[in-house]
């Protein structure tokens, strides 16, 4: 039986990642009375630096309030540990007397747990608890954090489409997502009818062509009198380059510390504005990056997502008692079930949106895709149909 659990959060926060902390901490109290739960501040940095919150001492009521709070309450990190860093983490865990480490995060986080398992899986149980708004983890039907972010995006596009019914023009909303288009595609979940936007959806899984984009917008304007577009920040041209790379001069392109092209700045917004101004001169067009807003929006916390995130934390404690692994949310045809899967199946892998979620020859969801998003983000509001 584990006696000291260390828990940490990695990568971008979500609206419900703290539910997973609360779920794990409260499950330890239930299954392992007397065991300690140490929350490492800022992910593996806290383990490296011995910087912990004693979650065992936090009253249940307070933990439940923390669960309701968006963002990562323990702090997070973008550190992607290599073998040497993992050695430092192992020493930190040993110093803390840890016999289980639950790390909540996405594919990078599961990758860290894989390295640690290979090094010391016989002494410490390493558990990955899933979290990502990108919804891009293998073995999972969907991932905690996604439904809430998807609900934000569905609501934002429903709302903006209603705005553009009233004052027609072209709207492009840029949605987070470097490699997987799930979150962008969720923009269609709350379409009212066949007239509704988003009229066009561009995801990283399909090659993007600016020419085709302008033609698509023209066709949509001709048909609907307006055009609402959802585009992933990570869309790429046929040569595999990020769109922002083909639209922005190389000397003006920003890169992050890992050398990846920075998708989050205003470059892509400006480039799409220029493309629309050139392709459709004089026509009203607006390009907004939704930016950080979908990620941890308190206004869009989905109750099912919150519960599943809590349950995933509780289940992680069971997985720890079984020696470690990755927690996965699978769908059995009627409901979501929690499963323990091998870390290696998830670590460092990216699940892409299935090709059949999109229509073969159009930038729109297929029935299969629509059914998936309607299951995860069912309609929430009772509204009427505008007169225009």
Provide the annotated binding site for diphosphate.
12
Q: How far is the CB of 332 from a copy of itself (least distance, A)?
A: 30
Q: Which 3-state string (H, E, C) describes the chain?
A: CCCEEEEEECCCCCCCHHHHHHHHHHHHHHHCCCCEEEEECCCHHHHHHCCEEEHHHCCHHHHHHHHCCCCCCCCCCCCCCCHHHHHHHHHHHHHCCCCEEEEEECHHHHHHHHHHHHHHCCCCEEEEEECCCCCCCCCCCCCCCHHHHHHHHHHHHHHHHHHHHHCCCEEEEEECCCCCCHHHHHHHCCCCCCCCCCCEEECCCCCCCHHHHHHHHHHHHHHHCCEEEEEECCCECCCCCEHHHHHCCHHHCCECCCCCECCCCCHHHHHHHHHHHHHCCCCCEEEEECCCCCCCCHHHCCHHHHHHHHHHHHHHHHHHHCCEEEEEEEECCCCEEEEEECHHHCCCCCCCCCHHHECCCCCCECHHHHHHHHHHCCCCCCCCCCCC
Interacting residue ranges for a copy of itself, rule: CB under 8 A: 9, 12-13, 15, 18, 39, 41-42, 53, 62-63, 65-78, 151-152, 155-156, 158-160, 162-163, 165-167, 171, 264-267, 269-270, 273, 286-293, 295-300, 381-388
Q: Which is nearer to a copy of itself, 136 or 161 (CB)?
A: 161
Distance of CA 75 to the CA centre of its chain: 17
Active-site residue, selected from the candidate residues 49, 118, 122, 134: 134
Q: How far is the CB of 297 from a copy of itself (least distance, A)?
A: 5
Q: Which is nearer to a copy of itself, 65 or 321 (CB)?
A: 65
Annotated binding-site residues for Mg(2+) read 107
Residue located via tokens 């046929």: 238
Q: Which is nearer to a copy of itself, 356 or 379 (CB)?
A: 379
Q: Which is nearer to a copy of itself, 83 or 167 (CB)?
A: 167
Q: How far is the CB of 242 from a copy of itself (least distance, A)?
A: 17
Cα–Cα distance between 376 and 382 in angstroms, integer? 18
Q: How far is the CB of 294 from a copy of itself (least distance, A)?
A: 10
Q: Which is nearer to a copy of itself, 5 or 171 (CB)?
A: 171
Q: How far is the CB of 205 from a copy of itself (least distance, A)?
A: 25
Q: Which is nearer to a copy of itself, 162 or 207 (CB)?
A: 162
Q: Which is nearer to a copy of itself, 152 or 372 (CB)?
A: 152
Q: Which residues contact 147 (CB under 8 A, 6 or more apart)?
A: 302, 304, 305, 308, 376, 377
Residue closest to 39 by CA, chosen among 1, 77, 75, 8? 8
Q: How far is the CB of 261 from a copy of itself (least distance, A)?
A: 15
134 is catalytic: yes
Confirm if 192 and 385 have CB atoms less than 8 A apart.
Answer: yes
Q: How far is the CB of 388 from a copy of itself (least distance, A)?
A: 4
Active site residues: 134
């Amino acid at each position: 039986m584990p006696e000291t659990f260390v828990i940490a959060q990695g990568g971008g926060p979500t609206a419900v990642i703290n539910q997973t902390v609360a779920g794990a901490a409260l499950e330890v109290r239930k299954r392992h009375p007397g065991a300690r739960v140490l929350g490492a501040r800022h992910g593996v940095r806290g383990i490296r630096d011995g910087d912990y919150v004693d979650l065992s001492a936090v009253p249940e009521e307070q933990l439940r309030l923390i669960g309701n709070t968006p963002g990562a309450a323990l702090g997070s990190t973008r550190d992607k540990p290599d073998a040497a860093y993992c050695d430092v983490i192992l020493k930190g865990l040993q110093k803390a007397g840890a016999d289980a480490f639950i790390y909540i995060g996405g594919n990078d986080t599961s990758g860290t747990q894989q390295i640690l398992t290979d090094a010391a899986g016989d002494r410490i149980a390493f558990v990955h608890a899933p979290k990502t708004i990108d919804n891009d983890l293998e073995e999972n039907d969907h991932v905690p954090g996604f439904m809430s972010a998807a609900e934000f995006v569905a609501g934002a596009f429903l709302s903006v489409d209603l705005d553009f019914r009233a004052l027609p023009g072209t709207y492009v909303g840029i949605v987070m997502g470097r490699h997987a288009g799930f979150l962008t595609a969720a923009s269609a979940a709350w379409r009212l009818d066949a007239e509704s936007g988003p009229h066009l959806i561009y995801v990283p899984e399909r090659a993007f062509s600016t020419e085709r984009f302008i033609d698509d917008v023209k066709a949509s304007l001709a048909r609907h009198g307006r055009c609402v577009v959802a585009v992933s920040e990570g869309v790429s041209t046929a040569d595999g380059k990020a769109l922002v790379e083909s639209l922005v001069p190389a000397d003006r392109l920003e890169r992050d510390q890992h050398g990846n092209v920075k998708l989050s700045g205003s470059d892509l917004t400006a480039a799409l504005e220029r493309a629309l101004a050139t392709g459709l001169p004089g026509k009203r067009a607006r390009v907004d990056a939704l930016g950080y807003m979908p990620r941890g929006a308190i206004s869009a916390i989905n109750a099912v997502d919150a519960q599943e995130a809590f349950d995933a934390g509780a289940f992680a404690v069971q997985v720890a008692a079984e020696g470690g692994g990755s927690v996965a949310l699978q769908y059995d045809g009627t409901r979501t079930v929690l499963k323990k899967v091998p870390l290696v199946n998830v670590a460092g892998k990216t699940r892409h949106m299935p090709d059949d979620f999109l229509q073969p020859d159009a930038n729109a969801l297929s029935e299969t895709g629509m059914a998936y998003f309607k299951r995860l983000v069912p309609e929430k509001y009772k509204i009427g149909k505008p007169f225009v």
